[in-house]
Amino acid sequence: MSEVPMIEGVSRLVLPDPHIIFDQVTFAHGENVVFNGFSLALQERRVGLIGSNGSGKSSLLRLAHGLALPTSGVITTVGLNTATRRKQIPSRVGFLFQNPDRQIIFPTVGEEIAFGFQERGDTRLEAMRQAVVWLSRFGRAEWADRIVHDLSEGQKQLVCLISVLALEPSLILLDEPFASLDLATRLAFADQLQALDQPIVMASHDLDFLAPFDRIVWLEQGRVRADGPPRDVLETYRAEAHQGMKKLA
Q: Could you tell me whether strands 20-29 and 72-77 are parallel, antiparallel, or unpaired per DSSP bridges?
A: antiparallel
Q: Quote the DSSP letter at residue 10.
A: P
Instruction: pLDDT band for 14, please (50, 70, 90 cuts).
Output: very low
Instruction: Read off the pLDDT of residues 149-176 as tens digits, 9 standing for 90 and up.
Output: 899 888 898 899 899 989 899 999 999 8
- Length of the chain in residues, anyone? 249
Closest CA to 227 of 216, 237, 235: 216
Q: Are 172 and 96 in contact (CB under 8 A)?
A: yes
Closest CA to 35 of 217, 172, 170: 217
Percent residues over pLDDT 90 in the chain: 63
Q: How far apart are CA 107 and CA 148, in angstroms?
A: 6
Helix (H) or strand (E) holding 49: strand 46-50
Half-sphere exposure of residue 197, counting CA atoms within 13 Å on the CB side? 13
Question: What pTM did the predictor assign?
Answer: 0.86
Q: What is the mean pLDDT of residues 101-125?
A: 93
**Domains, in order of start, for the chain:** 20-107+147-248 (3.40.50.300)
Determine the pLDDT at residue 229.
Answer: 95
Closest CA to 155 of 133, 135, 170, 128: 135
